[in-house]
Structure 1
């Protein structure tokens, strides 16, 4: 399954714009999404409170931090394995 190019917070923001009265056709065009995508997101994110949005943002930041840690550790491991191979 293809990963979304939008984060959960971005999805909720797009849905919130529709709830604020922005014409739905304009939202489709600006976001570059289909009607089906918008209405699926609306089912999932409709009525998201600001505390939920804040929690989503914090989770996304934590996820990004953890991905960076994994990348750094993977690079360290690869460098150490290369050093061990050169000594043998």
Structure 2
């Protein structure tokens, strides 16, 4: 089964529906998701607006890039230490 991706707008819209009184079962049936997925969304996006959610996603991707760069630099430094520390 192909995994369907939902946009931040759809996720936040579903959470707002729940806050307005719609049952979780109805929302899950409408979006064809499990209750666990809905509660994961709610824990991540509760209280956010769409613009804040987009900014959060941008920050997460930027953070991942920076972590990757740091890991590469640390690996490079470790390799240089190994090369320089060997006795000739």
TM-score in terms of structure 1 length: 0.55
**Offset from partner CA, 1:19-44 (integer Å, 9 cap, x none):** 5877414211xxxx62xx62364265
The equivalent residue for 2:77 is 77
Q: Which has the larger radius of gyration?
A: 2
User: In the superposition, relative to structure 1, how do residues 40 and 65 fare at CA in structure 2: closer, same or farther (>3 Å)?
Assistant: closer
5+ residue gaps, structure 2: 1-5, 18-25
The alignment partner of 1:27 has SS state of coil
The equivalent residue for 2:3 is none
Would you say 1:57 and 2:53 are equivalent positions?
Answer: no
The alignment partner of 1:73 has SS state of helix
The alignment partner of 1:67 has SS state of helix
- Cα distance in 1 for partners of 2:64, 2:40 equals 25
User: In the superposition, relative to structure 1, how do residues 62 and 44 fare at CA in structure 2: closer, same or farther (>3 Å)?
Assistant: closer
The equivalent residue for 2:11 is 15
The alignment yields a C-alpha RMSD, in angstroms, of: 3.4
